[in-house]
Chains A and B, each alone.
Chain A
Amino acid sequence: MWVKPQEVFLKTALWDCDETTLYFVLQRRKGHGKSKGLSSLLVGTLDSVRDTKPAPYRILHQTPNSEIYYVIATALTEQEIKQDWQWLFENVSPTLHSFDTEEEITEFVCCKINSLIATEQESFTEDEDTINYKNVDYNFHQRFGMPKDEKLVCYYSCSYWKGKMPRQGWLYLSMHYMCFYSYIFGRNTTLKIRWADVTELVKTNSLLFPDSITVVTRDGEHYFTMLLKKDETFALMQQLANIAMKQLIDDKTGNYNIDKDLLTKLSKNVPKKASFLKRDLDAKKQSNLYTLRFRLPQVEKLDGTEECTLWTPYNKRHNWGRMYLSQNFICFDSRVANLVRLIIPLRNVYQVEKADSGGTGSSGESGSILITTSYHTSFLFGNISDRDFIVHKISELLAKLPNRGGHRVEGEWTPQPPLMTLFKTHQTSSIKQIQQKKEKQWEDHMAEVGRGVSMYRTTEGSELVVKGIPESLRGELWSVFSGSILQKIQSKGLYEKLVNEALSSKNQANDEIERDLHRSLPEHPAFQNDVGISALRRVLCAYALKNPTIGYCQAMNIVASVLLIYCPEEQAFWLLATICETLLPDYYNTRVVGALVDQGVLEELTKSQLPDLHAKLDELGMMKMISLSWFLTLFISVMPYECAVNVMDCFFYDGAKVIFQVTLTILDVNKEKLLKSTEDGQAVQILTDYLEGIFNDEAMALSTEPRTAQKTIKIQELVYQSYRMYGANVSSECIEHLRLKHRLRVVRHLEDSLEKNTLRALQQDKLLDANELQELLSVIREELFWAKRVPAERLEAPYEAYRVDYAQFKTIYMALSPWAKGDYAEAITARIFKLMDHDDDGLVSARGLSLAIGLSTRAEAQKRLRALYCAHAPPLLSNLELRSAQFTEVEELADDAISFFDSIDRPSESIQRSVSDVGEGQMDKSTDSTYTPDEALAAEAIRVCALGLPPGASPGTPPPPSPPPALPRPHFLRLLAALHDLTQYSTPLYEAVARAETLLLQLGELRHRPNLDREMSQDSLYLAAAAQPSALEPDRNGNLEEACAQPSPSKDEKDPTEDWSITLEQFLATMLAEADLEEFFSKQVSILPQLEALRQRDRLQYVS
């Protein structure tokens, strides 16, 4: 037992040394154990006199040049102290040489021991979030500046290697972060890594970092050693990292749902954990393994397990194994792999009874349970140590079963029976015989093991599957083996509902489906006909509606059409759902992530199983893509149809491991040829020829045309070989484990390339430099992250993936833009936001934001002024907004400014506040007030003018180069107010604005006078005096007259100053004539310091 390090001076008195190393001594109390000399007697006496009974064993820490010793561990038994000694020897000793001074070593050891004690105490005292845990939680939030809703899952004592020095401290694992903190040798070490940034987690054991966990991020590698519970820690880290990745893939709100049921769960011996969340995560993990093992619906939560036996009537034996209980199922799996497996849905359970000494005598002494189903089959479990508890548990679960009386919803369609019953393919008599023989075998088998969900899954059964399921039984057995039947039963009536809804809706998925209906299995007569096509349409559309994160992905059409051949429509639908969600997770989502993950898994398997071939394929650059279509279509698009279905038989029975083992076998068989190939095309051809040559003489080929491909291998042989050669090496657990690992890499890679493409696109605007854009993008990512929004790749352009709402825009813009510094900041921010919000959906892309910032910090003066002008042009700055209560005050402010410019008093507080209120109010209104089509067009034209053309305009649509409308008086006054605000801190600038303003207001007046014609205004003294030819853009010049003549699209009829207006040219010319202003608007402002500050800011204040 570790003890708080205490100084002792006498090293040897009263103690014998058993073992000594440079830094540690293991001692035994004299008189204890072996030695029975005089001194031992003395010690015994001393002890009894003092009435203290020190533990007979202890470990001391020492350094060679010090007289001070520290007791660090004591124990009552030799075995116990040896354990501690061993741990020290393995974990602490090897690292001590890295310290420079002995003081450091001592400090390190003491710190380490103290933290060990702390950890141990918790494991004794912790219950659900105890006071101690809450303290740690509080410290965690303070220390790392975490928002309140960031939940700490668990914390561990360990060492983090900073450079060559280990730092003893605490590792904190929370939902989104892993953090490390230590305070040692007077130095702070903090580390904060987001799970979403982790690319790799590895348990390593190298010479340099013995027995450590390595965390790899884009920025580098981090090593953690001396973990007390390394495996537990690692497993938790892996789980958290994967939750983070799942969130990136699924684009759902990233809230982890805590299972409240756990709190009230009737539990037996649930070990106490550091936090409730940790318990919850552990339970989730157990449940995942459970649902995977028995192919249960993923939402199923494991309640508990119990060792017991299952009586199998077909061979009259008791088989040892484990019983699993969850809300909807009782399952059993034998201890001997694949011997027997059983699933009993609770809804089928009719009766549960205690059956003593089960009748066969072999399990007399402990309790048995007999479970009878409503189909009159019964199952006998024996040797249950705590029978009463289990019976109680089962009845509790039965009582909780929801009552689902799903009733059929009528639609204008009837569900399609298996298409093969309608469209019989021609069969030769020999094939008929083979099929009949197979059917007979299965009938016999099922007579023994039962039929349906609760059939015993036995070794004999798996052998029959490998030989190929007879066509007539495929539908039924696929549904049973894959577990999709369970989903179907649990969601009665859902399919009909989905179909009715899906067929009446119009969306992109339905369009894509429509295009592919005739391109799914065109060689089958069922799909040369509307019957098959309609069924396929219903299944695919219903699924797209059921699971919008997937929608429709090409390849699903091919898989679904095969399912429809063998299964009734609804069953085919649920099989498709099982494939998409359980067997091939994330395969068909919007980035085909799952398929990419499995390519990585395959690559790793190939590397370990066929290293030379891996090297070759890698050299040809095709390792990562070789089998995409094989996996995505379950071989249907690459093998003859009648062969691929045999692979599907095993796939539904044994899961995704089957496609891996078949793929490895195909590669293995063709290894010699592939090794000789010189380029990727050749290698692809070798594999294509092989795959097309696979044949099945136990079923009819679909295509009536004579085969051109040379026969290569019988499908049954290939499947059998795949089990023989790779069946054992490629297990489901192994695939699951590798998927976890590769998911991190794939998602990270996708994120990186999205970011890279975004940066490249943003650089084309040539405003901010690469470094700033990079920083800006990470700030945006950070904002999105905390808002629990995931960047989702979109069609339009990479930067559209990162879209911020107004609150986020405001945070970033106000921190970075020099325009958003004054009292008018909110209003300017709001207007710039509107200027950037192209589709008026309240979201601005990363490009919009970078332009907004670039325009105010980098662009030429003219562009900056133009953007400001455009932001104030109607309809962007709406009349509604102008009419708001504070309008008159603002108008007065600007109006008065003519006589105002020599007194530079700050405008009164109340006015300023009202101005920012306008800004807020505007944003609220913008969500519910929409533009008329005309206004929307005008708004878009203004944006184009302010920003230049958006890159990637579709070909053939030449941009209409229309100038922005002239500003009516109220709008112009708003613009002036903004300018005053920008320049109020500098007297010369403020005066310059005022001078320009005077000119402009007078110009506006000139236009207002009806008898003054256009020539006059153009020749006007003011313009001539102000205009610098260079400041006027030639193309704008050409449009000048038109621009002036154009009435404002949304001018207010009631406005008395109807004709009053200022054009962009007038505005630019006047403003740029003031040298001070030109300089001010040309100033290059660096945003890097602000970006840094934005990143480092304390989030506690921002997220409530």
Chain B
Amino acid sequence: MGTREDEYDYLFKVVLIGDSGVGKSSLLSRFTRNEFNLESKSTIGVEFATRSIEVDGKTIKAQIWDTAGQERYRAITSAYYRGAVGALLVYDIAKHLSYENVERWLRELRDHADQNILIMLVGNKSDLRHLRSIPTEEAKAFAETNGLSFIETSALDSTNVEPAFQNILTEIYRIVSQKQMRDPPEGDVIRPDAEPADLRPSAADSVRKQCCQ
């Protein structure tokens, strides 16, 4: 280890969830490798990729866990929510059922993830304009009432993919760094030389405090 790839100031774990076939894996490969395959293997269990971004001159390493969407894998994938500070809840703007199921996914997160995990609702496949079945405004309103941020993306033409990840990571970063300004760090910022295992609980802690006040 010890390559440049591993030098970072913060490490955030983010999960991608949502129904099968809404494009979670495509979003991930678009963001981490800038690739798009119209046809790729369905995700079994959980897959994983990382990418680092810069915010305020700090390097943030995003560890993104991509999960299987099929109902029967839910018990397995929910085990991966542990320690995640952010979640992208993806639906397909052309498939109404995938939008209806958003509520169920939220419940999953409530049940298995840290209670203050940041959630972004992502309407993917925005390139399919003529097939759209969920109006942007409707989803936006739903996101607002449920305290989620919201964005529409297209992994195919890469619209908004960067901003989606940037936004959620930046938001997490803000909360974590504000917490640090208020409470001087007690080794809770995770740098490569520090104990990275501490990050997740501490980041989650700070998120919780932030949200409660």
Does A678 sit at the interface, judged by CB under 8 A?
yes
Cβ of A595: which chain B residues have Cβ within 8 Å of it? 76
Q: Which of B42, B63, B196 has a CB less than 8 Å from the CB of A557?
A: B42
Cβ of A484: which chain B residues have Cβ within 8 Å of it? none
User: Does the CB pair B79–A629 fall under 8 Å?
Assistant: no
User: Does the CB pair A637–B44 fall under 8 Å?
Assistant: yes
User: Does the CB pair B72–A954 fall under 8 Å?
Assistant: no
User: Does the CB pair A681–B48 fall under 8 Å?
Assistant: yes
Nearest CB in chain A to that of B65: its residue = A681
User: Does the CB pair A592–B76 fall under 8 Å?
Assistant: yes
Does A347 sit at the interface, judged by CB under 8 A?
no
Give the contact stretch, choosing among B52-60, B99-107, B164-172: B99-107
Cβ of A518: which chain B residues have Cβ within 8 Å of it? 39
Does B46 sit at the interface, judged by CB under 8 A?
yes
Nearest CB in chain A to that of B200: its residue = A679
User: Does the CB pair B73–A750 fall under 8 Å?
Assistant: no
User: Does the CB pair A521–B41 fall under 8 Å?
Assistant: yes
**Bound-state Cα–Cα, A281 to B40, Å:** 47
User: Does the CB pair B41–A519 fall under 8 Å?
Assistant: yes
A797 to chain B, nearest CB (A): 8
Does A1044 sit at the interface, judged by CB under 8 A?
no
Cβ of B183: which chain A residues have Cβ within 8 Å of it? none
Cβ of A685: which chain B residues have Cβ within 8 Å of it? 48, 50
Cβ of B71: which chain A residues have Cβ within 8 Å of it? 590, 795
Does A522 sit at the interface, judged by CB under 8 A?
yes
**Bound-state Cα–Cα, A637 to B66, Å:** 14
User: Does the CB pair A757–B45 fall under 8 Å?
Assistant: no
CB proximity to A under 8 Å, residues B81-117:
82-83, 99-104, 107, 111
Q: Which of A520, A628, A682 has a CB less than 8 Å from the CB of B45?
A: A628
CB proximity to A under 8 Å, residues B149-181:
none
Chain B: interface residue total (CB-CB under 8 A): 45
Contact pattern, A 951-964, Cβ under 8 Å of B = 1, otherwise 0? 01111100000000
User: Does the CB pair B11–A956 fall under 8 Å?
Assistant: no
**Bound-state Cα–Cα, A216 to B48, Å:** 38
Q: Which of A589, A592, A628 has a CB less than 8 Å from the CB of B46?
A: A628
Cβ of A265: which chain B residues have Cβ within 8 Å of it? none
Q: Which of B21, B40, B80, B142 has a CB less than 8 Å from the CB of A955?
A: B142
Cβ of B197: which chain A residues have Cβ within 8 Å of it? 678-679
User: Does the CB pair A681–B13 fall under 8 Å?
Assistant: yes
**Bound-state Cα–Cα, A518 to B40, Å:** 8
User: Does the CB pair A515–B44 fall under 8 Å?
Assistant: no
Q: Which of A512, A522, A633 has a CB less than 8 Å from the CB of B44?
A: A633
Does B32 sit at the interface, judged by CB under 8 A?
no
User: Does the CB pair A955–B100 fall under 8 Å?
Assistant: yes
Q: Which of B47, B72, B195 has a CB less than 8 Å from the CB of A592?
A: B72
User: Does the CB pair B39–A519 fall under 8 Å?
Assistant: yes
CB proximity to B under 8 Å, residues A512-536:
512, 515-516, 518-522, 528
Contact pattern, A 681-698, Cβ under 8 Å of B = 1, otherwise 0? 110110010000000000
User: Does the CB pair B50–A515 fall under 8 Å?
Assistant: no
Does B186 sit at the interface, judged by CB under 8 A?
no
Nearest CB in chain B to that of A954: its residue = B100
Does B136 sit at the interface, judged by CB under 8 A?
no
User: Does the CB pair B41–A520 fall under 8 Å?
Assistant: yes
**Bound-state Cα–Cα, A750 to B76, Å:** 11
Cβ of A521: which chain B residues have Cβ within 8 Å of it? 41
Q: A592-B76, A596-B76 are in contact. Are A952 and B104 (CB under 8 A)?
A: yes
Q: Which of B42, B72, B76 has a CB less than 8 Å from the CB of A519?
A: B42
**Bound-state Cα–Cα, A679 to B76, Å:** 20
Nearest CB in chain A to that of B121: its residue = A955
User: Does the CB pair B75–A628 fall under 8 Å?
Assistant: no
Does A930 sit at the interface, judged by CB under 8 A?
no
CB proximity to B under 8 Å, residues A929-960:
952-956
Q: Which of B1, B43, B70 has a CB less than 8 Å from the CB of A512?
A: B70
**Bound-state Cα–Cα, A554 to B72, Å:** 9
Chain A: interface residue total (CB-CB under 8 A): 46
**Bound-state Cα–Cα, A742 to B42, Å:** 28
User: Does the CB pair A554–B1 fall under 8 Å?
Assistant: no
Cβ of B46: which chain A residues have Cβ within 8 Å of it? 625, 628-629
**Bound-state Cα–Cα, A953 to B79, Å:** 25
Does A624 sit at the interface, judged by CB under 8 A?
yes
Q: Which of B41, B63, B80 has a CB less than 8 Å from the CB of A637?
A: B41
User: Does the CB pair A952–B107 fall under 8 Å?
Assistant: yes
A80 to chain B, nearest CB (A): 57
User: Does the CB pair B79–A632 fall under 8 Å?
Assistant: no
Cβ of A284: which chain B residues have Cβ within 8 Å of it? none
Nearest CB in chain B to that of A624: its residue = B79
A-B contact count (CB 8 A): 111
User: Does the CB pair B104–A795 fall under 8 Å?
Assistant: yes
Does B16 sit at the interface, judged by CB under 8 A?
no
User: Does the CB pair A522–B138 fall under 8 Å?
Assistant: no
Cβ of A629: which chain B residues have Cβ within 8 Å of it? 44-47
Cβ of A596: which chain B residues have Cβ within 8 Å of it? 75-76
Does A427 sit at the interface, judged by CB under 8 A?
no
Does A1046 sit at the interface, judged by CB under 8 A?
no
A593 to chain B, nearest CB (A): 9
**Bound-state Cα–Cα, A952 to B101, Å:** 10
User: Does the CB pair B44–A682 fall under 8 Å?
Assistant: no
Nearest CB in chain B to that of A760: its residue = B111
Nearest CB in chain B to that of A756: its residue = B111
User: Does the CB pair B72–A591 fall under 8 Å?
Assistant: yes
User: Does the CB pair B103–A558 fall under 8 Å?
Assistant: no
Cβ of B39: which chain A residues have Cβ within 8 Å of it? 518-519, 522, 528
CB proximity to B under 8 Å, residues A791-805:
795
Nearest CB in chain B to that of A678: its residue = B196
Does B119 sit at the interface, judged by CB under 8 A?
no
Contact pattern, A 624-645, Cβ under 8 Å of B = 1, otherwise 0? 1100110011000100000000
Cβ of B102: which chain A residues have Cβ within 8 Å of it? 955
Q: A521-B41, A591-B72, A596-B76 are in contact. Are A955 and B50 (CB under 8 A)?
A: no
Q: Which of A522, A621, A624, A795 has a CB less than 8 Å from the CB of B37?
A: A522
User: Does the CB pair A592–B44 fall under 8 Å?
Assistant: no
Cβ of B40: which chain A residues have Cβ within 8 Å of it? 519, 522
B131 to chain A, nearest CB (A): 15
Cβ of B29: which chain A residues have Cβ within 8 Å of it? none
Does A753 sit at the interface, judged by CB under 8 A?
yes
Q: Which of B50, B75, B107 has a CB less than 8 Å from the CB of A591?
A: B75
Does A218 sit at the interface, judged by CB under 8 A?
no
A250 to chain B, nearest CB (A): 14
Cβ of B146: which chain A residues have Cβ within 8 Å of it? 955
Cβ of B20: which chain A residues have Cβ within 8 Å of it? 512, 515-516, 554
A560 to chain B, nearest CB (A): 12
Q: Which of A625, A753, A954 has a CB less than 8 Å from the CB of B80?
A: A625
Q: Which of A554, A557, A684 has a CB less than 8 Å from the CB of B68?
A: A554
User: Does the CB pair A678–B70 fall under 8 Å?
Assistant: no
Q: Which of B45, B80, B101, B134 has a CB less than 8 Å from the CB of A632?
A: B45
User: Does the CB pair A632–B44 fall under 8 Å?
Assistant: yes
B86 to chain A, nearest CB (A): 14
Sample 24 A-B pairs with CB under 8 A, ordered by A number. Answer: A516-B20, A516-B42, A522-B41, A528-B39, A553-B70, A554-B20, A554-B42, A554-B68, A554-B73, A589-B72, A592-B73, A621-B83, A625-B76, A628-B44, A629-B47, A633-B44, A681-B11, A681-B48, A688-B48, A753-B75, A757-B111, A954-B103, A955-B102, A956-B138
| Among all A-B residue pairs, the 9 with the closest Cβ atoms | A522-B39, A628-B45, A629-B45, A954-B100, A629-B44, A519-B42, A955-B142, A681-B63, A554-B70
Q: What residues make up the interface of A, taking CB atoms closer than 8 Å to B?
A: 512, 515-516, 518-522, 528, 553-555, 557-558, 589-592, 595-596, 621, 624-625, 628-629, 632-633, 637, 676, 678-679, 681-682, 684-685, 688, 750, 753, 757, 760, 795, 952-956
Q: What residues make up the interface of B, taking CB atoms closer than 8 Å to A?
A: 1, 11, 13, 20-21, 37, 39-48, 50, 63, 68, 70-73, 75-76, 79-80, 82-83, 99-104, 107, 111, 134, 138-139, 142, 146, 195-197
Q: 6 extra interchain contacts, Cβ-Cβ under 8 A, other than A519-B39, A952-B107, A956-B139?
A: A516-B21, A519-B21, A590-B72, A591-B75, A624-B79, A955-B102
